[in-house]
A and B are shown apart, each in its own frame.
Chain A
Amino acid sequence: MNSRLIFLPLAGIAIAGGPAYATVYLSVEQAQAVLFPGATVQPQPRTLTEEQVKAIEHASGVHVLTKQLKVWRVSAGGWFIVDEVVGKHEYIPFALALDDKGAVKGVEILEYREAYGGQIRDPEWQKQFLGKDASAKLQLGKSIRNISGATLSCKHITDGVERLLVTYELVLKQSGR
């Protein structure tokens, strides 16, 4: 075990740790391969009606952000859905895999571009991002992908999954067979 505390200029760190920076975990295709290995998927996008949106919001208690449902039917049975939730400030895209009975098979976060924890409220912290672009990344030799000290809640993601489970019950279940 070895550790040391160093101090680095904020300009470089801002890009790595702040909203100007996104950690990309998986592409949609990679998430499909991870969640349904070896299966083929068929896109079956839907547009929710006004009534369906109301019914989903009523049953899940979660606000529906968009009527467009990005959904794929899986050859081996089951569904693959890509959706997003609003984190503290940014959209967090995620993929949900449902088995042929509509039970959760897996959740993968696709991208994370949230500012971490409380420092977003700190005006000094926010100031760092003004006028920054991707080229500023070069100021720091290697990017900083992890932050410690501000536990992130995943409640918005579990709420999003809850909403999609209701969406499955009300919209996909009858139509998918």
Chain B
Amino acid sequence: MILLVDMDAFFASVEQQLHPHLRGRAVIVCGDKDRRGVVTAASYEARPFGVRAGMPMREARRLCPHAEYVEGNPRKYVEKSLELLEIFLTVTPDVEPFSVDEAFLDLSRLGARGDTYEAATHVARGLQQRIAEEHGLGASIGIGPNKLIAKMASGVEKPRGLTVMDEERFRGVFWPQPVQALWGVGEKSAAAFARLGITTVGDLARAPEPLLEQHFGVVGPHLQQAAWGRDRTPVVPYHEGVDPKSMGHEVTLPEDSRDAAFLEGTLLRLADQVARRLRGDGFAARTLTLKLRDFRFRTITRQRALPVAVDDHVSIFEVARALWREHWKGEPVRLIGVSASALEKKGEGEQIELFARDERRSALQEALDQVRDRLGEASVVPAGSLAYRRALGHVPFGAAQRTDADAPGKGDARVQRRATRDRLAGRSGYDDGAERSAPDPTQLKPRLDKRRPAP
């Protein structure tokens, strides 16, 4: 039996718990509240006014002017997430932190104490009670025979809901719903399904498999299985670790900009952040993606596959800039992002060749990493990114975030805990705290279709 524990309005609830005067009030967590950006999280008191995560701040202020606007702090939420992880681990060692505010628990090891719907319900109620009593927070829990059903069940009743589902009930609840309700189906997939006349989860379940395969490749039949409530993805306990599939940073600019020098400086800063994370975790990337959102909220992503894997900011920046120059048409830019995927563990494959070829750059990078590990992230930055920093009113040596460069070893609980903290911080999607950039909730709570594990 699988449980998915989803913390209710997590960031806003943590702020309410830390600051009692916020309890019972509409709270909106955002980036720098004096800058524009988007809503990171809204408390349940703010939601009746129509405020939602991802909404532009200007819109939120119009809908809910009396709300308390609180600048989010990722470290705070990651620490709380780790405290909650300790509670989950008292139930079972098979806990997979899925994001900063969600975790899967596999109860199958508990036998009769957890592997029936009744026993799992008992465990779930106990967890909700402990989370409320010890942390003053609410959690909604889904229970199902697999991760897919547990995940989707957790969203049926909120806040503080508890929903138990077997495959049959899953079909009863979700088959009439729009196909986008299915975990793994995003906006674009839904549009593609609609063109085939598939509009509900039930339509997808009953569609001819060859048709799905023809239009969606292997993903089509996989999603069809999901529509039946079938899923074989295992819970990967946190102590076993999961290699990330991608790493990225993005930032909402202080104001829409068409200043090429400033935008390229921003790209350089983002490339540097991505490179630092890659090296910190011992990865190099074979694919780089540029994300641009213009003043009309139109978003484009463009990617490029590379002949060799890279992990230095110069290489990443050069590719990102080339993509940028190719695809930017001069319109004002609102958001810009860089991400790396097709990750390879350093030392594998052609990475060796790359490092042998460019030893000087590698040695320089290592020395710079050592300086940052010791003195902090902003102690050394690419000069070209300073224009961007000045635009944010940011003092370079006042920076705040640290990316732990220690490669985590498996089996060492302390090191693993730190690695989990860093992973959660990475998944929280915040830019450097010191950069005061507005976190993008599409990264804070990544879209489900992006997080869906590969079949």
| A interacts with B | no
